[in-house]
Chains A and B, each alone.
Chain A
Amino acid sequence: MLTSITLPLLRPVLLIALLFRTLDALRAFDLMFVLTGGGPAGTTETLTVYAYRSLFQTLQLGFGSAIGVVIFTLVMVVAAAYLGVLRRAGATA
Chain B
Amino acid sequence: MRARARVWDVAVLLLLAVWATPFFWQVRTSFTPDSELLATNRALPASPTTIHYRAVAERSVMPRALGNSLAVATLTTLVALALGLPAAYAIARLPVPGKALLLLVIVASTAFPQIATVSPLYLLMRALGLRDTWTALVMANTSFALPLLIWLLAGFIREVPIEVEEAAFLDGAGRLGVLGRIVVPLVAPGVASAALLTFLASWNEFLFAYTFTATEASRTVPVALALFPGVFEVPWGDIAAASILASLPPIIIVVGLQRWLVHGLVAGALKE
Q: Which residues of A contact B (CB under 8 A)?
A: 12-13, 16, 19-20, 23, 26-27, 29-30, 33-34, 47-48, 51-52, 55-56, 61, 64-65, 68-69, 71-72, 75-76, 78-80, 83
Select B207's contact among A13, A20, A52, A65, beta carbons within 8 Å: A52
Q: Are B270 and A16 in contact (CB under 8 A)?
A: yes
Q: How far is the CA of A13 from the CA of B267 in the complex (A)?
A: 11
* Leading 8 A-B pairs by shortest Cβ distance: A30-B206, A68-B116, A72-B116, A79-B111, A27-B113, A34-B226, A23-B111, A48-B115
Q: Are B111 and A76 in contact (CB under 8 A)?
A: yes
Q: Are A75 and B112 in contact (CB under 8 A)?
A: yes
Q: Which residues of B contact A (CB under 8 A)?
A: 104, 107-108, 110-119, 204, 206-207, 211, 222, 225-226, 269-270
Q: Are B222 and A71 in contact (CB under 8 A)?
A: no
- A interface secondary structure, majority: helix
* B204 cross-chain contacts in A, Cβ below 8 A: 30
* A52 cross-chain contacts in B, Cβ below 8 A: 115, 118, 207
Q: How far is the CB of A52 from chain B (nearest CB, A)?
A: 6
* A23 cross-chain contacts in B, Cβ below 8 A: 110-111
Q: How far is the CA of A80 from the CA of B225 in the complex (A)?
A: 36
Q: Are A27 and B114 in contact (CB under 8 A)?
A: yes
Pick the most buried of B117, B207, B211: most chain A CB atoms within 10 A of its CB.
B207
17 additional contacts (CB under 8 A) given A16-B270, A30-B226, A69-B116: A12-B270, A13-B270, A29-B207, A30-B204, A30-B206, A30-B207, A33-B206, A33-B226, A47-B115, A48-B113, A52-B207, A56-B119, A68-B116, A71-B116, A72-B113, A75-B111, A79-B108
